[in-house]
Amino acid sequence: MQAVNTYRDRGQAGQVLAQHLAAYRARPEVLVLALPRGGVPVGLEVAKFLSAPMDVFLVRKLGMPGHEELAIGAIASGGIRLLNRELILEAGIPARDVDAIVVRETAELQRREALYRGHRPAPRLAGRTILLVDDGLATGFSMRAALAAARRHEPAWLAAAVPVGAPETCDELAEQADEIVCPLRPSPFQAVGLWYDHFQPTTDEEVHACLREAASLPRPKT
């Protein structure tokens, strides 16, 4: 299938997504949590439009050996570990290899936690309205791990928001989230990057720039 590119880049995709989240605008209990790295520029545009604070929520995809773009699971802060056991069995990946992937990605998750947050404490989630934002949903393992991790903090409302996603993945995640917001659900889907004109990897420097800009945004009065 030759896909028709729909979004210019993550920034423009975030602006479109924000329009679909207008019901959350200027509500002091709302917190935008972006999944690094690709979800951060999307989340920044959402936070701007909603006049909401934004932070990062750390999740790491577990990629299949030799085909890292294909998720065999995901991990998230707080010890969350989700595995696609059916795919792991089908691919014949030994348990020791899965464990090695988890160890490697856990180290990277911790590195990014320290890099992006430094000494700044993690935001309070309990009792708040949380919007988990990423640049798209393919298998959904990263978002599923994020939802499970965030749910442990007992938010009042937990939503997942992405500009584009596989229809079946959005349907599956609806069982975990209080709301799924996804303006574009193409079928066949294939890959998130097909629906962007420009889909280069987001750098750590860009994440820092987005977080600095988000910190300077005006907040609604409580």
* Segments making up each domain of the chain, as ranges: 10-215
Architecture of domain 10-215: 3-Layer(aba) Sandwich (3.40)
pLDDT 10s digits, 201-217: 999 999 999 999 999 98
The fraction of the chain above a pLDDT of 90, given in percent, is 74
Cα angle value 66/69/71 (rounded, 5°) = 95
pLDDT of 219 above 80:
no
Residue-wise pLDDT for 125-160, tens only, equals 999 999 999 999 998 988 999 999 999 999 999 999
Q: What is the pLDDT of residue 1?
A: 43
Instruction: Of 14-18, 71-75, 109-113, 217-221, give the lowest mean pLDDT range.
Output: 217-221
Two tokens, residue 142:
């990263």
Give 168's pLDDT tier (boundaries 50, 70, 90): very high
pLDDT of 43 strictly over 70: yes
Band (71; pLDDT cuts 50, 70, 90): confident
Phi, psi at 3, each rounded to 5°: -75, 150
Q: Which pLDDT score is estimated for 15?
A: 98
**What single-letter amino acid sits at 171?**
D
The predicted structure's pLDDT at residue 222: 55
Residue-averaged pLDDT of the chain: 92
Provide the pLDDT confidence category of residue 197 given band limits of 50, 70 and 90. Answer: very high
Per-residue confidence band for 42, with pLDDT thresholds at 50, 70 and 90:
very high
The DSSP result for 172-214, as a single string, is HHTTTSSEEE-SB--SS---GGGGBS--PPPPHHHHHHHHHHH
